[in-house]
Structure 1
Amino acid sequence: MIDRLQKFYADAISNENLPIENRLTLRISKQDEIILDKNKLSMEEIQLLITLFDEDNTQHFQGNRQDKIIHEWLVEEKEVSKKEIANVITTPIRLIHFSISSDVVEQEEFSVALQGLFPASKSLVWKSKTEGLIIQQIDTDFDDELSINSIIDTLTSDFFVKVSFYIGSPIPHTSEIFTRYQWENHIYNKVKTSFPRKAYFIEQDISIHYLLHSIPEENLTKILKMIAPVKDDKTLLHSVKMYLECNLNASLAAKKLYMHRNTLQYRVDKFIEKTSIDIKQFPNAVSVYIMLLSIEPI
Structure 2
Amino acid sequence: MLKKLLNYYPNSITFSNLPENPSDQYYIFYHEAENEWIGILKSTINDQEIKLLKSLFTFIDTENVNNSTLAQKWYDFLLMDGPKPSEKIQSELRFIQFYIHTDELSQVEIEAALTGFFSEEVNIIWENRNKGIVIEDTKHISLSEDELLSMSETLETDLYAKISFYIGKPYTLSGRLPSLFRKESEFFAFGMAQLTETTIFTYERIFPAYIAYHLPEELIQKINTEILELFQSDTELFSTIKIFLENNLNASLTSKKLYIHRNTLQYRIDKFTEKTGINLKDFYGAFTVFLACLIFEYQTK
Q: TM-score if structure 2 supplies the norm length?
A: 0.68
**Secondary structure of the equivalent of 2:136?**
strand
Aligned to 1:52: none
Map 1:136-151 → 2, pairs under 5 A: 136-139=136-139, 142-151=142-151
Give the conservation status (yes or no) of the 8 Å contact 2:93–2:170.
yes
Residue identity matched to 1:76: M
Secondary structure at the counterpart of residue 71 of structure 2: helix
* Aligned-residue offset at 1:94: 1.6
CA offsets per residue over residues 116-147 of structure 1, 9 Å max, x none? 33446601111122221111233356232534
Residue 110 of structure 1, CA deviation: 1.0
Shift in CA distance, 217/96, structure 1 to aligned 2, threshold 3 Å: farther
1:238 deviates by 4.5
Deviation at 1:96, TM superposition (A): 1.0
CA distance in 1 between counterparts of 2:154 and 2:218 reads: 38
Rounded Cα–Cα distance in structure 2 between residues aligned with 1:250 and 1:80: 48
Tell me, yes or no, if the aligned pair for 2:121 and 2:140 is still in contact at 8 Å.
Answer: no
Write the distance in 1 (CA, Å) between the matches of 2:223 and 2:121: 42
**Residue matched to 2:69:** 65
Whichever residue aligns with residue 290 of structure 1, its letter is L
Matched, 1:174 2:178: no
User: 1-side partners of 2:162 and 2:224: how far apart?
Assistant: 29
CA contact (8 A) 1:13 1:35 kept: no
Q: Which amino acid aligns with 1:281?
A: D
Q: How far 1:224 sits from its partner (Å)?
A: 8.2
Q: How far off its partner does 1:193 sit?
A: 2.6
Give the Cα–Cα distance (whole angstroms) in 2 for the partners of residues 234 and 22 of structure 1. 48
C-alpha offsets along residues 84-109 of structure 1, whole Å, 9 cap, x if unaligned? Answer: 243xx563332111223332442211
Q: Distance in 1 between matches of 2:186 and 2:256?
A: 37
Aligned residue identity for 1:99: Y
In structure 2, do the counterparts of structure 1 residues 152 and 237 end up closer, same or farther at CA, with 3 Å as the change threshold?
A: farther
Whole-Å separation in 1 of the counterparts to 2:148 and 2:258: 18
Over 3 Å counting, the alpha-carbon distance change for 1:142 and 1:255 in structure 2 is same
- Where does 1:35-114 land on structure 2 (aligned, <5 Å)? 57-59=61-63, 61-80=65-84, 84-86=86-88, 89=89, 91-114=91-114
Give the Å deviation of 1:189: 2.6
Per the alignment, residue 11 of structure 1 pairs with 8
Whole-angstrom CA distance in 1 between matches of 2:108 and 2:205: 31
Matches within 5 A, 1:124-143: 124-139=124-139, 142-143=142-143
The letter of the residue matching 2:269 is V
Given the superposition, is the C-alpha separation of residues 151 and 237 from structure 1 closer, same or farther in structure 2, using an over 3 Å criterion? farther
Deviations 1:54-107 (A, max 9, x none): x953545323222122111112221236xx243xx5633321112233324422
Check 1:274–1:145 CA distance in 2 against 1; reply closer, same or farther (3 A cut): same
Amino acid at match of 2:268: R
8 Å CA contact 1:239, 1:264 repeated in 2: yes
After TM superposition, the structure 1 stretch with the greater mean CA deviation from structure 2, 251-260 or 142-151, is: 251-260
Measured on the aligned residues, the alpha-carbon RMSD in Å equals 4.5
Whether the 8 Å CA contact 1:230–1:271 is kept in 2: the answer is: no
Identity %: 29
The 3-state SS of whatever aligns with 1:208 is helix
* Structure 1 residues 217 and 66, CA gap change in structure 2 (3 angstroms): farther
Q: Which has the larger displacement, 229-238 or 205-214? A: 229-238
Structure 1 residues 156 and 293: CA distance shift in structure 2, 3 A = farther
Q: Distance in 2 between matches of 1:190 and 1:145?
A: 19
Mean CA deviation greater in 227-236 or 149-158: 227-236
Which segment is superposed worse, 70-79 or 208-217? 208-217
Q: Give the unaligned 5+ runs of structure 2.
A: 42-58
Taking the aligned partners of 1:169 and 1:135, their CA distance within structure 2 comes to 11
Q: Which blocks of at least 5 consecutive residues in structure 1 are unaligned?
A: 1-7, 15-20, 50-54
Alignment check: 8 A CA contact 1:99 1:164 kept: yes
TM-score (norm. length: structure 1): 0.68
Q: Does 1:292 align with 2:297?
A: no
CA deviation after TM superposition for structure 1 residue 149, in Å = 3.6
8 Å Cα contact 1:58/1:76 also seen in 2: no
